[in-house]
């Protein structure tokens, strides 16, 4: 994202949208801790994080439902940011490129999920990749946008 | 196909100059000039007004 935010050619609308994207990414990180289990690699690095894990089998259905709903927030925010940007972007060419980049972002996110699914099953070690979907989506979309824009220099 | 590059050269404008006058990005002008992106009707009208030429003189088959 820093690649994009350092660009002096960005319009105020693009800068504003980038700030929202940054917020969505931060929210994604925060909601990672709302999962039933903190991601295994994180616990490997910081063992004390294991204390944040929600005890399994002892939570009420309502709490589980609320925790699940919390992780939807970054995804809904992502949809809102994209819709708001595409509606307000006056440059039709940039709009077309943004749509292409967004499609790449969705593709990379789906591919990431598929790969993570195979790896977690193979190693029988759960990793809540779904919680990182919003981050994966934004990072891959930003990289794709830079690449497609570069082809029109 | 279009003669945007030639018209721009006549006025001695850079792609960035034309982009600023049209209110679009420089990459948009580049993409239209090279035929990799088709300008919309509103943008074609803007170009027509800017160069004081009918649309069909700027864009052709």
Q: Is B36 on the interface with A (CB under 8 A)?
A: yes
Contact A153 B30 (CB under 8 A): yes
Q: And the tokens for B36?
A: 């990799």
Query: How many residues in total does chain A contain?
Result: 153
Is residue A136 less than 8 Å (CB to CB) from chain B?
Answer: no
Largest CA distance in chain A: 58
pTM: predicted TM-score of the whole model, two decimal places = 0.72
Q: Is the pLDDT of residue B12 over 90?
A: yes
Q: Name the residue with tokens 């779904």.
A: A130
Identify the pLDDT of residue A2: 41
- Helix B15-22 vs helix B41-51: angle between axes, to the nearest 10 degrees? 110
- What rounded mean pLDDT belongs to chain A? 78
Alpha-carbon distance A85 to nearest alpha carbon in chain B (angstroms): 15
Tell me, yes or no, if B27 comes closer than 8 A to chain A by beta carbon. Answer: yes
Please give the average per-residue pLDDT across B22-26, as a whole number. Answer: 90
Q: What is the chain A residue with the closest CA to B28? A: A93
The angle formed by the CA atoms of residues B46, B52 and B57, to the nearest 5 degrees, is 85
* pLDDT on residue A137: 86
Give how far Cα A66 sits from Cα of A53, A60, A69, A108, A113, Å. 15, 10, 5, 28, 23
B20-42 mean pLDDT:
90
Give the tens place of pLDDT for each residue, A32-89: 665 555 566 666 777 776 666 656 556 677 776 777 777 778 888 888 888 999 998 8
Output the DSSP codes for A9-31: T--HHHHHHHHHHHHHHHHHHHH
Inter-chain contact B25–A90, Cβ cutoff 8 Å?
A: no
Q: How many cross-chain Cβ pairs, A to B, lie less than 8 Å apart?
A: 31
pLDDT at position A1 over 50: no
Produce one character per residue of B4-35: b if its CB has 16 or more CB atoms within 10 Å, e if not.
beebbeeeebebeebbeebebbbbbbbbbbee
Question: Residue B2 carries which DSSP code?
Answer: B
Min Cα separation B52/chain A (Å):
22
């Amino acid at each position: 994202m820093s690649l994009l935010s350092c660009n002096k050619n960005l319009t105020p609308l693009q800068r504003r949208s980038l700030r929202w994207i940054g917020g969505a990414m931060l929210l994604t990180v925060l909601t990672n801790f709302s999962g039933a289990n903190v991601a295994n690699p994180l616990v490997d690095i910081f063992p004390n994080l294991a204390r944040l894990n929600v005890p399994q089998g002892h939570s009420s259905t309502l709490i589980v439902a609320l925790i699940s709903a919390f992780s939807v927030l970054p995804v809904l925010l992502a949809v809102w940011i994209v819709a708001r940007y595409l509606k307000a972007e006056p440059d039709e060419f940039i709009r077309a490129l943004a749509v292409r980049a967004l499609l790449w972002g969705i593709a990379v996110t789906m591919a990431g999920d598929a790969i993570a699914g195979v790896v977690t099953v193979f190693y029988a070690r759960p990793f809540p990749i779904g919680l990182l979907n919003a981050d994966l989506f934004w990072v891959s979309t930003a990289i794709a946008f830079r690449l497609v824009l570069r082809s029109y220099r | 196909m279009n003669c945007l590059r030639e018209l721009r050269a006549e006025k001695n404008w850079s792609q960035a100059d034309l982009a600023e006058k049209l209110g679009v990005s420089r990459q948009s002008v580049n993409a239209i000039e090279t035929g990799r992106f088709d300008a919309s009707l509103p943008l074609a009208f803007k170009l027509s007004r800017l160069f004081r030429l009918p649309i069909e003189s700027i864009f052709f088959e």
